[in-house]
Amino acid sequence: MADTDADPKDAPAPSNASPWDALRRFTNARIALGRAGSSLPTAPLLAFNLSHAQARDAVHQPLDVDALHAALQEAGFDTLDAESAAPDRDHYLRRPDLGRKLNDESTARLRDHEGKGFDVVFVVADGLSAYAATRHAVPLLQRMRSKLDGVRIGPVVVARQARVALGDGIGELLRARIVVVLIGERPGLSSPDSLGVYLTYEPRAGRSDAERNCISNVRPEGLPYDAAAFKLLYLLNEAVRLKLTGVSLKDDSDALLSASERTTLPPA
């Protein structure tokens, strides 16, 4: 007769247990999913289909511009609006070149903005995941603001149908020393809301990707906000010191995570 008082934890492991099972808690990668005959079990198959749908939705979901402006203003930021030359999402996806330049109305609006130049201008852009911009841009900017005392921060520009290079034209028109673009990255099957951060020293139209630095996968499940803010502050300081960004600016911030953080940009 079976011992009804036996501890279930003491039960022998099932004969079909996989040595990969213990590793699943360390990664979101789809490993050790099991099988049902020659196919996947129902649960992981449904989870895959859900992730695929979330990734597709992230690409096509429009940015809630009004809500983002309201959240930024509530956090204490001035804001401006901008759109690329892509008139709609279909053109944006089919014509990446249109997403890299401002439309005429946005160009005129930014050119007419009163100001004598800024040390840093932040751009929050939909990119390929409006989810990412909506969820992660404001928390990251709030952490950055406390680290930039005395720095001339321009209005945060909310950009629609935007590619990374759109920030070059924005920064040039606002006479920014550095432009920082917070943009939704291409969604994956485990991260439909990953935020990328790109910074360019002395932005102007025609800058290449080799002339900017990137911090990727900013989100609580990836690179947390505090760590991303630390890296961004390090790169901003180094960009001002070296007067450049891009392949010649190396991110050595990981070695300094336990050191005291510098709280302001050095003078020009």
**What confidence score (pLDDT) does residue 237 get?**
95
User: How does pLDDT run across 1-36, given as a tens digit for each residue?
Assistant: 445 555 544 545 454 556 777 777 777 777 777 778
Angle between helices 130-145 and 65-74 (to 10 degrees): 10
105 assigned ligand-binding residue: no
261 assigned ligand-binding residue: no
Q: What is the CATH number for 138?
A: 3.40.50.11240
Residue stretches of the chain with pLDDT short of 70:
1-18, 114-115, 257-268
Q: How many domains does the structure of the chain reveal? A: 1
CB 128 within 8 A of CB 62: no
Q: State both tokens at 2.
A: 């079976």
**What confidence score (pLDDT) does residue 16 get?**
55
**What confidence score (pLDDT) does residue 43 get?**
84
**69 belongs to a structural domain:** no
List residues bridging with 39 in a β-sheet.
36
**134 belongs to a structural domain:** yes
**217 belongs to a structural domain:** yes
**221 belongs to a structural domain:** yes
**4 belongs to a structural domain:** no
What is the gyration radius of the CA atoms in the chain, in angstroms?
A: 23
**Amino acid letter, 62:** P
Whole-prediction pTM: 0.82
**What confidence score (pLDDT) does residue 5 get?**
54
**65 belongs to a structural domain:** no
214 assigned ligand-binding residue: yes
Q: Which residue segment(s) compose the domain that 88 sits in?
A: 78-255
Q: State both tokens at 79.
A: 């804001």
For strand 212-218 and strand 195-201, is the pairing parallel, antiparallel, or unpaired?
A: antiparallel
**155 belongs to a structural domain:** yes
Q: How far apart are CA 43 and CA 35, in angstroms?
A: 10
Query: Going along 168-251, which residue ranges are E strands?
Result: 176-184, 195-201, 212-218
**49 belongs to a structural domain:** no
**What confidence score (pLDDT) does residue 254 get?**
80
